[in-house]
Amino acid sequence: MDDIIDVPTLIRLFFVAVPSFTLIASASSTIHDSLLIYGSRGTNQSNSAKGGNQTASGGSGSLASRVLAIVSFQVPHDWFHHFYALSLVASAFWAYQIFTGGLAFTIVAANTKPQAATMTVDQISLVWTLVAVQGTRRLYECLVFGKKSSSTMWIGHWILGIGFYFLVSMAVWVEGIPTLLETKPLPDFKLRAPSLRTFVGLPIFILASGMQYDAHEYLGSLKKYTLPMHPIFQVLICPHYFAECLIYLSLSILAAPAGDLLNRTIFSVVFFTIILHGITSKTTRAWYAQKFGEDKIKGRWNMIPFVF
């Protein structure tokens, strides 16, 4: 069994390695400005990159010319809604695979090492439902609150987002594979008294979801890019990012196997979210300071109250 490629470990590796590499790469101003800034904040950088491509190409082999060549592959920022559509499709796909004992689920199960503790059917059902709710809400927000714009993002962001949401659709059940192999999910599902972790995790999920919805609705109501003045934006530069971190933290609590405080696979998603959103929130702060003045955002935390 030692030679098995452990799927849960590979999923965790993705969620830890990608933000770690991004954090290191962001130390380079060339990489940060060209690859890590997108949307309205990245319009100027994108235009500069296109305009400066020929200049940079003069120094063949330079970091700048290579980065500019990579960043030239742009896709519409409106493609963000693809992530949430994929999240719903992937959740449905894995549900079908598990209930029918499909080939994809069989391969994943065969390449998962034995686990000392496992999720229950109730936990899998609850967290699966909450992820579906999250995906549905975010898709709705993108389609209803989103504005048509010429903003773009690097195609690497789009590919990364697709990979992220597909792996999240696996993370919600992958630590429950022993349970899924031993029981038939639907016949085994029963309404039982909620556990302590449910009393802790579910309110966090509901409150964080409401916070994120409120923030996105407010941002969508702005007629143009202005400094947000909603009460929650008076405390945080990016409250919607903080809410997303809380959402995944709540799922990690709810999905924790017996004897564990957190679900390790989903907690790696929390790490991913904190690092990448943290980088973006810092960039957003710099953009606000440049556009409106540092005095206008003085006293506001970037993303996490009293921490960052």
Q: What mean pLDDT is predicted for residues 246-271?
A: 95
pLDDT of residue 60: 42
- Which pLDDT band holds residue 278 (cuts at 50, 70, 90)? very high
What is the token pair recorded at 120? Answer: 């229950």
Looking at residue 68, its pLDDT comes to 59
Residue bearing the bigger pLDDT, 205 or 186: 205
Helix (H, G, I), strand (E, B) or coil at 236: strand
Tell which wins on pLDDT, 31 or 181.
181
pLDDT at 59: 44
Average pLDDT value over all residues in the chain? 84
* Highest mean pLDDT: which range of 5-14, 21-30, 69-78, 284-293: 5-14
Average pLDDT over residues 38-60: 47
pLDDT tier at 77, thresholds 50, 70, 90? confident
At residue 218, the pLDDT reads 92
Q: Please report the pLDDT score of residue 54 as a whole number.
A: 45
**Is residue 97 predicted with pLDDT exceeding 60?**
yes
Q: Band of the pLDDT at 306, cuts 50, 70, 90?
A: confident
> What's the pLDDT at 51?
47
Among 112-126, 254-268, 271-285, the minimum mean pLDDT is found in 112-126
> Average of pLDDT values for 23-52?
56
> Tokens in use for 191?
């309404």
Q: How confident is the model at residue 63 (pLDDT cuts 50, 70, 90)?
A: low
